[in-house]
Structure 1
């Protein structure tokens, strides 16, 4: 005897699969975004603590005139 899924069972299985896939995708995206933002925050804090060496100081402008 051959087992067959009814239409309702197929739709329910697809719904469960879709829900689980969405949940894992959402959690993965959230974790990825958290890591990216954490790196950005660390970089911004470093720049705030350590002045950028590429910006000229006030003395260098006096030397040019």
Structure 2
């Protein structure tokens, strides 16, 4: 299932890697695409949306509702 998140606080490549790693820890098969200029994270996963949002938040980023 395709999920789209607006994520605040991603400012560099390290931020992108941290978000990607957090999601892939939750679901190693997930496909992650990040558009930092638009603050968007697109995730292809079967994990629940709230679990993915929590994984991103745990890295210190704000996931918009």
* TM-score > 0.5, shorter chain as reference: no
Q: Which has the larger radius of gyration?
A: 1
Q: Which has the higher helix share?
A: 1
Larger RCO, structure (CA 8 Å, separation 6 or more): 2
TM-score category by the smaller chain? under 0.3
Q: Taking structure 2 as the reference length, what is the TM-score of the superposition? A: 0.26
